[in-house]
Structure 1
Amino acid sequence: MSHTSIKGQVLADLVAEFGESPLEEKAEKQNMDEKSVGTVSLQKPLSLRVYVDGAANQKGSGVGLVIISPETIIIEKSLRLGFLTTNNEAEYKALLVGMTMVKKMGGKMVKMFSDSRLVIGQVEGELEARDSRMQEYVGQVKHLQLGFESFTLLQIPRSRNTHADSLATLATSSA
């Protein structure tokens, strides 16, 4: 694991342990001529890039996530799903897990990258989600989108998503 991955994991562990956004407003009081003056320091909203991928095969299904902060801190997540899914369901699960992690980290602006043409097309309304399970996933994504100041979902070629793909494939083989 690289140094930035370790720092990212430490950051993720701290966020998970304390449950607070590291970027919340900070207020200080200063005494000036016996008057209390409050100052508020607002930091720029946390903007993250997230690469997601899902995988399903005979061994199981899993998701892979690569979260990159503006400081290029990289958080990698490989998660085995405890139930059988289709590949498309695993792709949706990866997207939903990524969105949830960004929210828990205090992210307000996110660019999500996926190589699933179907998922991107259904979420963007370019493709119809005919299956009731796919419709439910689209609804969950749309609901989570509302919690972000800025949300972008982009399709990328598989060749540009190999890191998340490897993590998803790893999750399918772990018990």
Structure 2
Amino acid sequence: MADFLAAHPMTDCEAILDDFPDEQVMVTKLPKVWQMFFDGAARATGAGAGVIFITPQGDLLPYSFKLGMTCTNNEVEYNALIIRMDIASELGIKHLQIYGDSKLVINQVAMEFEARKLKLLPYCQKTQHLLVKFLNIEVKHIPRYENVKADALASLAAALSCLDRSPL
């Protein structure tokens, strides 16, 4: 704008036009972007995952769930991500920012790391399949201290899973 005004100086006698017939063209509608924070927790006797959605209006939607199987921490992280991405897609969410503290999972999803472990390959492939269901999706790694709410939900779900499996 500054360059245009400098290139087209106005003299004092020119009238300023303030009627723009195409002014609606300059109006843009911002997409409704959702955020999703996820984390998983694996224990010797159970696993759980925590996910928090933040709506475009700023509302928090927390979820935690137990996994009925014993798995590695990376598998739990992938399960948390996949299950909630699938739900986000079914809800019609088209613009999603995903945050997780698992550097391995985030970098594999972003295709910066290759999935070398055969156990993780199906998870990575399923995630790639889900990515194309969104118009705009960002996947970012965050430090653990920025993911404490999802971490707490995952730990709670894992603890409950352990309680369900322990004999009383």
Does residue 89 of structure 2 align to residue 116 of structure 1? no
Please tell me whether the aligned partners of residues 114 and 154 of structure 1 are also in contact (alpha carbons under 8 angstroms).
yes
1:46 deviation in Å? 4.0
Letter of the structure 1 residue corresponding to residue 108 of structure 2: Q
Aligned to 2:47: 61
Aligned to 1:70: 56
**Normalised TM-score (structure 1):** 0.72
- Map Cα deviations across residues 74-96 of structure 1 (whole Å, 9 max, x no partner): 11100000111100000111111
Greater mean deviation of Cα atoms: 121-130 or 61-70: 121-130
Q: Aligned residues, how many?
A: 133
Does residue 154 of structure 2 align to residue 168 of structure 1? yes
| Alignment gaps of 5+ in structure 1 | 1-42
Aligned to 1:101: 87
Aligned to 2:77: 91
Does residue 140 of structure 2 align to residue 154 of structure 1? yes
Please tell me whether the aligned partners of residues 44 and 70 of structure 2 are also in contact (alpha carbons under 8 angstroms).
no
Q: CA RMSD of the aligned region, Å? A: 1.4
Same amino acid, percent of matched pairs:
37
Larger radius of gyration: 2
Q: What secondary structure does 1:153 align onto?
A: strand
- Map Cα deviations across residues 40-84 of structure 1 (whole Å, 9 max, x no partner): xxx975421000001101231011000000111111100000111
Aligned to 1:132: 118
Please tell me whether the aligned partners of residues 38 and 150 of structure 2 are also in contact (alpha carbons under 8 angstroms).
yes
Letter of the structure 1 residue corresponding to residue 78 of structure 2: Y
User: Distance in 1 between the 2:31 and 2:110 partners?
Assistant: 24
